[in-house]
Amino acid sequence: MTTLDKRFAALRPRIDLDTANALDDALSALAPGDTAAELVDAARDSVRSGKRLRALLAHFGASLGSGTPLGDGDVHLLGAALELYQASALVHDDLIDKALTRRGIATPHVRFARAHAHSSWSGSAPDFGAAAAVLLGDLLFSAAESAMIRQSQRLPHDRAVRLLARYALMHSEVALGQYLDVRAENLPLRAFGPSVSDAREVVLRKSARYSVVQPTLLGAAAAGADEDVLHALESALTPWGIAFQLRDDDLGVFGDPEVTGKPAGDDIREGKRTVLLALTWENASEAERLRLERALGNPEPGPEELTAAADIIEARGRADHEHLIEALIEEGARALDDSPLAPKTRSELLELSRIITARTS
């Protein structure tokens, strides 16, 4: 475990508490009543676990922007807002992907549908589950907004304006990236073979900037970093953010479910048009493409089909994918070499790049 890993591990319990408190504050202001108990319980359960990456990066950015030790900056509400927003996004993402479990437990739309069926309510249990999950995501989103408002009130006016503008940009980028992702999954493979450039655009919009770039820049902006520093951070973090998601895509096929918290082969079942799949498709033979088509987007592929698809991806795409990850890591490092950032800052950023691109979960 690196020095930064240890500092992150020490900060996580505080982020857990910040996030739970921010949600409780939002719920208290709402005073939902007993009839909304299922919604409130699901909201609290949605924020009980997670890697807390976005909040950690907000604190990291604030440390870089202010020169204060990690966790000492006044960005605890920002970190909580990012975690609440992430919880909201995951609820909606799981609904869109029809995912049954996350981190080993039922996803919210499944949970609500089961509650409906168990209580023998009228109407369709799946429809109720989907509607309730949309509203749960909206509730968590509103809690995130409340935390962001309170964070901005603690800052000088110019910092607050910059912070909220960047936060709003992050929202719209995620929505655009999610749409591009859904659209790509619905294009017929034969007519619209997966494109590396299109897949990278989805990665950039949906994940790289949202998961890595924007949280760090939000923390740095809240701490008063100037535009030159923000630009230098963005130049290095953008390729690393792409590499972060490419590593996630590799784990989506080859990761250990006990570590990732997601069933093995989920990306194959969902037919995700990842860069890994695009590289595989480019290199695959006609017979291999036919086998991929049998598994991709099939919610219940047989074990043989799933294994065959993973084997083809291993043989035809994984090596090129790893080379691309390495090239992106080097691209970010070169951007640091040309930046005005202090040597200590550059060293910490290089340590961060290793953490986010060599992960196993």
Per-residue pLDDT tens digits for 100-135? 988 889 999 999 999 999 999 999 999 999 999 999
Residue 63: CA count within 13 A, CB half-sphere:
20
The secondary structure of 54-85, three-state, reads: HHHHHHHHHHHHHCCCCCCCCCHHHHHHHHHH
Backbone angles phi, psi at 191, to 5 degrees: -80, -35
Amino acid at 51: K
For residue 297, the model assigns a pLDDT of 81
- In order of 176, 197, 319, the CA distances from 239 in angstroms are 19, 14, 19
pLDDT band of residue 350 (cuts 50, 70, 90) is: very high
Query: Taking a C-beta distance cutoff of 8 angstroms, is the pair 18, 73 a contact?
Result: no
- Token representation of residue 195: 């494109």
- Tokens 């795409």 identify what position? 317
For residue 258, the model assigns a pLDDT of 74
User: Sign (positive/negative) of CA torsion 140, 142, 146, 149?
Assistant: positive
Which is nearest to 213 in space by CA: 231, 196, 187, 227?
Answer: 231
Percent of the chain scored above 70 by pLDDT?
98
Report the alpha-carbon distance of residue 284 to residue 157 in Å, rounded: 55
Per-residue pLDDT tens digits for 250-262? 998 998 777 766 6
Bridge partners for 101 per DSSP = 106
Rg of the chain over all Cα atoms, to the nearest angstrom? 21
Per-residue pLDDT tens digits for 55-88? 999 999 999 999 999 999 999 999 999 999 999 9
Report the alpha-carbon distance of residue 167 to residue 138 in Å, rounded: 17
For residue 187, the model assigns a pLDDT of 87
For residue 256, the model assigns a pLDDT of 79
Q: Which residues contact 353 (CB under 8 A, 6 or more apart)?
A: 236, 240, 243, 329, 332, 333
- Token representation of residue 60: 């990291």
Q: How many helices (H) and strands (E) does the chain have?
A: 17, 2
Measured distance between the N- and C-terminal CA atoms of the chain, rounded to whole angstroms: 15
Query: Taking a C-beta distance cutoff of 8 angstroms, is the pair 295, 310 a contact?
Result: no
Amino acid at 132: A
For residue 261, the model assigns a pLDDT of 67
For residue 191, the model assigns a pLDDT of 73
pLDDT band of residue 360 (cuts 50, 70, 90) is: confident
Per-residue pLDDT tens digits for 298-341? 877 788 888 999 999 999 999 999 999 999 999 999 999 989 99
The secondary structure of 312-341, three-state, reads: HHHHHCHHHHHHHHHHHHHHHHHHHHCCCC
In this model, does residue 291 exceed pLDDT 70? Answer: yes
In this model, does residue 228 exceed pLDDT 90? Answer: yes
Query: Taking a C-beta distance cutoff of 8 angstroms, is the pair 10, 354 a contact?
Result: no
Query: Taking a C-beta distance cutoff of 8 angstroms, is the pair 131, 123 a contact?
Result: no
For residue 146, the model assigns a pLDDT of 98
For residue 102, the model assigns a pLDDT of 87
Amino acid at 250: D
Alpha carbon 305 to its chain centroid, in Å, reads 28
Report the alpha-carbon distance of residue 241 to residue 203 in Å, rounded: 9
pLDDT band of residue 9 (cuts 50, 70, 90) is: very high
Q: Hey, which bits of the chain come out as E strands?
A: 101-102, 105-106
Per-residue pLDDT tens digits for 262-273? 676 778 888 889
Report the alpha-carbon distance of residue 192 to residue 183 in Å, rounded: 11
The Cβ of residue 286 has, within 10 Å, a number of other Cβ atoms equal to 6
